[in-house]
Amino acid sequence: MLPIIALLGRPNVGKSSLFNRLVRQNKAITHDLPGVTRDRIYGEATEDEVRFAVIDTGGMLPDAAEHDGGGMDRSVFQQAVEALDEADVALFVVDGRDGMTGLDQAVSEKIRASGKPVLLVVNKVDGPEQEAKALADFHALGFEIAPVSAAHGYGLSDLRLRVAELA
């Protein structure tokens, strides 16, 4: 059995972009609209000795998007809880350009409560000059931090190696 890695976090932080990078294929759907990933999507990451299964989670159901702003939060939680159940390691993805939001904070409590190993992946660190500012908000959560740019590829091989160590 491969270790299972779950990508968790609020919509639009770049979970699906990261998933595609990790499994090196466009299996997850990325989109500018938050929440396009309706269901969990599974893929397998392989690099030299490093092999693990990855679960991408989406943000919300299409109905909830249209009719109910509160549906987004509920679905984020529901999917986080279900994926956490299956996961050996949680990758908690946040947006380093937005900084910390209330929903990030709430999701972080779910993840912490699971007791699973967690890496806080600060995404959208697109250039070295952005790194210090991007990370500043998130140190307070007390998780080990991995800065990455799913768009540019920054930090991804370090992330793969660290995930393999934790799994």
Which residues participate in the annotated binding site? 9-16, 56-60, 123-126
Interactions with ligand GDP, residue window 134-153 (CB under 6 A) = 149-151
Rounded alpha-carbon distances, angstroms, from residue 19 to 45, 67, 132, 139: 9, 28, 24, 24
Handedness of CA 132, 134, 137, 142 (dihedral sign): negative
Of 6, 123, 155, 163, the one binding ligand GDP (CB under 6 A) is 123
Per the CB < 8 A criterion, the answer to whether 111 and 8 are in contact is: yes
Q: Using CA atoms, how far apart are residues 107 and 40, in angstroms rounded to an integer?
A: 17
79 contacts which partner out of ligand GDP, Mg ion, none, CB within 5 to 8 A by kind?
A: none
| Residue 108 contacts ligand GDP per CB under 6 A | no
Other beta carbons within 10 angstroms of residue 163's beta carbon come to 23
Interactions with ligand GDP, residue window 18-47 (CB under 6 A) = 30-32, 34, 37
- The encoded tokens of residue 116 equal 């699973």
- The encoded tokens of residue 59 equal 């943000």
31 contacts which partner out of Mg ion, ligand GDP, none, CB within 5 to 8 A by kind?
A: ligand GDP
Instruction: Write down the residue that tokens 């270790």 correspond to.
Output: 3
Q: How far is the CB of 139 from Mg ion (least distance, A)?
A: 26
Interactions with Mg ion, residue window 26-55 (CB under 5 A) = 37
| Residue 16 contacts Mg ion per CB under 5 A | yes
Interacting residue ranges for ligand GDP, rule: CB under 6 A: 11-17, 30-32, 34, 37, 59, 123-124, 126, 149-151
